[in-house]
Amino acid sequence: MTVHLSSAGTGQEYVAPDATVTVKIGAEHTDAEFELFEIDAPRGPSGPPHTEPWSKAFYVLQGRILVQAGDEGYDLGPGASISIPAGTVNTFSVLTPSAKFLAFSRTGGMSAFFAELTTTDQTDYAALGAVAARHRIELVDS
C-alpha cells in the first residue's frame, strides 16, 4: 500500500449508462482492500437492481438520491450515508436534477467492472449483462 493523493478534478473517469464515475482512490493504491469513487449522476434512468460480491457505502455530497437496498427505499440528501452489504439487491435513482456522491467499495472489483463496462456498447444490453456476469454482478428483475 502506498500514499496516494487525489486532487480535485483528477482520477480515472468512467462514463456508465447512469453516471460518471471518477476513481479517487483505486485498488492499486490500497492493495485491493478498498476503493473510493466520486459519482456524478443526472436524473434519468437508473441501473437495474443488482447484487455484487463486495460491500459498498454511499455518502451524498449534493442533491438527493433514492437508494433501494433489499426491500427498503432510503431517501438520502447531503451529509447522509448508507452501507450496503455484499449480496444485497440494490440500485439508486437521482431525485434532483443531478446528484454527486462518494462511493466506497471493498476490494478492487468495482473499478475493474467500470473499466470493462466503458469499453462496451452501452446500447447492447446482452453485452452489458455479460460484463456484469464476468464481474459476478447479478442483475435482478425489478
pLDDT of residue 110: 94
Cβ neighbour number for residue 29 with a 10 Å cutoff:
20
| Domain annotation covers residue 5 | no
Residue 42: give its domain's CATH number.
2.60.120.10
pLDDT of residue 142: 59
110 touches 5 (CB < 8 A): no
Domain extent, residue 124, equals: 13-139
CA distance 97 to 90: 21
**pLDDT in single tens digits along all 142 residues of the chain:** 789 899 999 999 999 888 999 999 999 999 999 999 999 999 998 889 999 999 999 999 999 999 999 999 999 999 999 999 999 999 999 999 999 999 999 999 999 999 999 899 888 889 989 999 999 999 997 5
| Domain annotation covers residue 111 | yes
Q: How many domains, the chain?
A: 1
Q: Residue 19 corresponds to which cell in the numbers above?
A: 453516471
| Domain annotation covers residue 110 | yes
| Domain annotation covers residue 8 | no
| Domain annotation covers residue 100 | yes
| Domain annotation covers residue 6 | no
64 touches 96 (CB < 8 A): yes
pLDDT of residue 17: 85
45 touches 92 (CB < 8 A): no
| Domain annotation covers residue 4 | no
- Give pTM, 2 decimals: 0.92
